[in-house]
């Protein structure tokens, strides 16, 4: 009779017939890491979505300040010259960034407006609004800035 043995190669001695405790622990650790990775991925995705949402709101608030500067009169063709488009008229302003008031609570930001002369002939100014806001997720917090910028000539 021909016997064919299908014993797995490379096994240890007779005293190592099952899985050792170390093997079980390693297997469990791998499984836990896999599940933790999945959960971490979901959590990261949620936090990213939240941050994107707040970024959109911050951008809207920055645009709001830019629109304010559009409404400032800058008339150099009449006399006296009217020039409301100066930085002192647009000091830093605290704004509410949040779209949602649930979770970490209200998120605030600050609009910083910078007005600089680009050219004198023709007259041209650059208006830049930086909306700086804080994002907090658990113990992790960071500052983000949304910037909008435009060029403007006299009325």
Partner 1 sequence: MKPSIRFHAWSRRSGELAFTLTELMVSAAILIFVVGGIVTANLFGMRMFQVEQTKLSVSDQARKIVGVLMDEIHSCETFQVGAFTNGNFTGLSPGTPQLGPALIIYPTTNATNFVMYFVDTSDQTFRRATSMPGSTRTLAHSVTNATDLFRAQDYLGNLLTNMQDNTVLHFKLEFFQTARFGVPPDYYKLETSTTRH
Binding site residues, partner 1, CB under 8 A: 1-8, 11-12, 14, 17-19, 24, 27-28, 31-32, 34-35, 38-39, 41-43, 45-46, 49-50, 52-53, 56-57, 60-61, 63-65, 67-73, 84, 89, 95-96, 98-102
Residue carrying the six token digits 């979770």:
103
Contact partners, residue 111, CB within 8 Å, separation at least 6 = 61, 62, 64, 65, 92, 93, 95, 129, 130, 131
What would the two tokens of residue 3 be? Answer: 């016997």
Give me the least distance between CB of 21 and partner 1, in Å please: 10
Task: Supply the minimum distance, in Å, between the C-beta of residue 116 and partner 1.
Answer: 18
User: Rounded to the nearest whole angstrom, what is the least distance from the CB of residue 6 to partner 1 in the complex?
Assistant: 5
**Residues 14, 47: Cα–Cα separation, whole Å:** 52
């Amino acid at each position: 009779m021909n016997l064919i043995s299908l014993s797995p190669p490379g096994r240890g001695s007779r005293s190592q017939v099952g899985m050792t405790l170390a093997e079980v622990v390693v297997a469990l650790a791998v499984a836990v890491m896999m599940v933790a990775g999945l959960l971490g991925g979901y959590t990261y995705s949620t936090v990213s979505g939240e941050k994107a949402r707040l970024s959109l709101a911050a951008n809207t608030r920055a645009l709001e300040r830019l629109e304010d500067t559009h409404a400032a009169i800058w008339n150099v063709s009449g006399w006296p010259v009217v020039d409301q488009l100066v930085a002192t008229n647009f000091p830093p302003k605290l704004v509410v960034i949040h779209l949602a008031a649930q979770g970490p609570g209200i998120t605030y930001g600050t609009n910083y407006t910078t007005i600089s002369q680009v050219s004198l002939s023709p007259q041209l100014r650059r208006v830049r609004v930086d909306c700086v806001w804080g994002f907090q997720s658990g113990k992790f917090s960071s500052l983000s800035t949304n910037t909008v910028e435009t060029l403007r000539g006299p009325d």
